[in-house]
């Protein structure tokens, strides 16, 4: 009902606007300019046959010959002919006014087009500048990441060499210090890797190499690499994948990154004695579904769609106690997207979290 009233009132306003424009045009010089306004000439020509025909009919009806004196006679006998004689002028004015309205509209459209072109040029300039800045940022990030990563690899290499104790026996506290240094260096390495990935995603150079993949092997590798961290935090890792899982179409390393990140989060946002499980639920026809669940702190429902955004972390910067930089899930979502699939989560505060994603089965 409300819609109908609105539509009607809009139509009425439009009608009033058109009438107003018409009357405005009557006061416009352009309306009466036959040389510049072809509409008015057209109106006059359109109106000329009317008096000719009406007078002609009158002459014919009275069996009078077509000559000037008879025409004058007929006109004065039936003064209605004055009205018909005025028709070329009336038509000229009405059509001329329409020509003026059209002329005004064309001018307005031209002005609008010009302003649009101007705005477009401005936008193009801004866009170019933004692209340059983006490229600058990407180059900077790439350079910084590379310059940080090279020495870090060397540091990690020396730490693991020292830990072998081939260059001398280490005391218990020296070994503890080395382990701590290694942990921090690995954390830094992960952060740099995430920044590099983010840069690649931003520049569209983050690619996947999809091939026949045994997903169980990838999960086993992820569990093995995170077992020491889980043990340290007293979290149990459960591999609940069925014995047989069909091969999937995936990039082994990138999917490893997703699974490792989800398990790592399951450990990180958990309490001692908790569990992280990897299972495959409801595998549908052409897809294999993977679920990484934990018994941890859970995520508030209204935050669930935000955790996949870049740099988003549920615990705000001021009161952070878990570390990380909020990039893992954003990168995971991108990786899964490149596998033509999606990632989603079910969770609630204090109820643990379940992350799901699907992979296409490999077809020979």
Among 328, 335, 343, 357, binds ligand ADP (CB under 6 A): 328
**Cα separation, 99 vs 38, whole angstroms:** 7
Binding string, residues 268-307; x marks residues near ligand ADP by CB under 6 A: -x------------------------x-xx-x-------x
Closest residue by Cα to residue 253 from 283, 285, 225: 225
When the beta carbons of 70 and 289 are compared against ligand ADP, the nearer one is: 289
CB of 206 to ligand ADP, least distance (A): 16
DSSP label at 30? G
Using rule CB under 6 A, residue 336 touches ligand ADP: no
Using rule CB under 6 A, residue 45 touches ligand ADP: no
Candidate segments 86-94, 98-106, 323-331, 336-344, binder of ligand ADP by CB under 6 A: 323-331
Using rule CB under 6 A, residue 229 touches ligand ADP: no
- If DSSP codes are grouped into helix, strand and coil, which group holds residue 86? coil
Element housing 45 (H / E): helix 38-47
**Cα separation, 329 vs 353, whole angstroms:** 13
**Cα separation, 309 vs 225, whole angstroms:** 26
When the beta carbons of 213 and 313 are compared against ligand ADP, the nearer one is: 313
**Cα separation, 147 vs 141, whole angstroms:** 10
Using rule CB under 6 A, residue 25 touches ligand ADP: no
CB of 163 to ligand ADP, least distance (A): 26
When the beta carbons of 196 and 297 are compared against ligand ADP, the nearer one is: 297
Point out the residue whose Cβ comes nearest to ligand ADP: 324
**Cα separation, 349 vs 109, whole angstroms:** 57
When the beta carbons of 139 and 225 are compared against ligand ADP, the nearer one is: 225
Candidate segments 152-160, 221-229, 243-251, 308-316, binder of ligand ADP by CB under 6 A: 308-316
Element housing 360 (H / E): strand 353-360
**Cα separation, 78 vs 58, whole angstroms:** 9
What Rg do the C-alpha atoms of the chain give, in angstroms? 41
CB of 352 to ligand ADP, least distance (A): 8
DSSP label at 340? T
For ligand ADP, how many residues bind (rule: CB under 6 A)?
A: 21
Query: Is the distance from CB of 359 to CB of 250 less than 8 angstroms?
Result: yes
DSSP label at 351? S
CB of 316 to ligand ADP, least distance (A): 10
When the beta carbons of 199 and 261 are compared against ligand ADP, the nearer one is: 261
Among 34, 229, 326, 361, binds ligand ADP (CB under 6 A): 326
When the beta carbons of 145 and 261 are compared against ligand ADP, the nearer one is: 261
Candidate segments 64-72, 111-119, 243-251, 320-328, binder of ligand ADP by CB under 6 A: 320-328
How many residues belong to the chain?
364
What is the distance in angstroms between the CA of the first residue and the CA of the last residue of the chain? 60
When the beta carbons of 250 and 258 are compared against ligand ADP, the nearer one is: 258
**Cα separation, 84 vs 62, whole angstroms:** 18
Interface residues for ligand ADP in 166-225 (CB under 6 A)? none
When the beta carbons of 92 and 266 are compared against ligand ADP, the nearer one is: 266
Residues 6+ apart with CB under 8 A from 263: 222, 223, 226, 237, 276, 278, 292
Using rule CB under 6 A, residue 351 touches ligand ADP: no
| C-alpha 170: how far from chain center | 56
When the beta carbons of 78 and 310 are compared against ligand ADP, the nearer one is: 310
Pairing of strands 211-213, 353-360: unpaired
* Residues contributing to the site for ligand ADP (CB under 6 A): 261, 265-266, 269, 294, 296-297, 299, 307, 312-315, 324-330, 353
């Amino acid at each position: 009902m409300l819609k109908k009233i609105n539509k009607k009132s809009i139509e009425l306003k439009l009608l009033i606007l058109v009438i107003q424009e018409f009357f405005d045009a009557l006061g416009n010089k352009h309306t009466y300019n036959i040389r510049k306004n072809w509409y008015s000439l057209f109106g006059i020509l359109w109106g000329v046959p009317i008096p000719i025909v009406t007078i002609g009919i009158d002459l014919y009806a009275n069996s009078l010959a077509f000559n000037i004196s008879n025409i004058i006679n007929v006109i004065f006998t039936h003064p209605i002919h004055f009205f018909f004689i005025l028709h070329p002028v009336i038509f000229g004015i009405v059509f001329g006014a329409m020509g003026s309205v059209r002329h005004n509209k064309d001018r307005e459209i031209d002005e609008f087009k010009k302003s649009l072109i101007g705005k477009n040029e401005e936008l193009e300039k801004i866009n170019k500048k933004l692209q340059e800045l983006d490229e600058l940022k990407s180059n900077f990030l790439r350079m910084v990441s590379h310059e940080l990563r090279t020495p870090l690899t060397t540091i990690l290499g020396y730490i693991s060499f020292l830990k072998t104790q081939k260059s001398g026996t280490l005391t218990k506290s020296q070994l503890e210090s080395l382990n701590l240094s290694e942990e921090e260096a690995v954390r830094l390495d992960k952060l740099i890797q995430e920044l590099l990935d983010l840069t690649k995603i931003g520049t569209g150079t983050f690619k996947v190499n999809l091939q026949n993949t045994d997903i169980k092997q990838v999960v086993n590798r992820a569990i093995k690499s995170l077992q020491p961290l889980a043990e340290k935090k007293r979290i149990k890792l459960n591999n609940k994948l069925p014995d047989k899982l069909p091969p999937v179409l995936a990039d082994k390393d990138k999917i490893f990154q997703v699974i490792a990140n989800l398990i790592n989060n399951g450990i990180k946002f958990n309490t001692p004695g908790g569990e992280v499980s990897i299972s495959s639920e409801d595998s549908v026809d052409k897809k294999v579904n993977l679920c990484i669940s934990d018994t941890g702190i859970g995520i508030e429902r209204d935050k669930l769609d935000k955790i996949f955004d870049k740099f988003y972390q549920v615990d705000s910067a001021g009161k952070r106690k878990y570390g990380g930089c909020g990039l893992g899930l954003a990168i995971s979502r991108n990786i899964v997207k490149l596998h033509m699939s999606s990632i989603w989560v079910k969770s609630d505060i204090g109820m643990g979290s379940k992350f799901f994603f699907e992979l296409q089965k490999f077809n020979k």
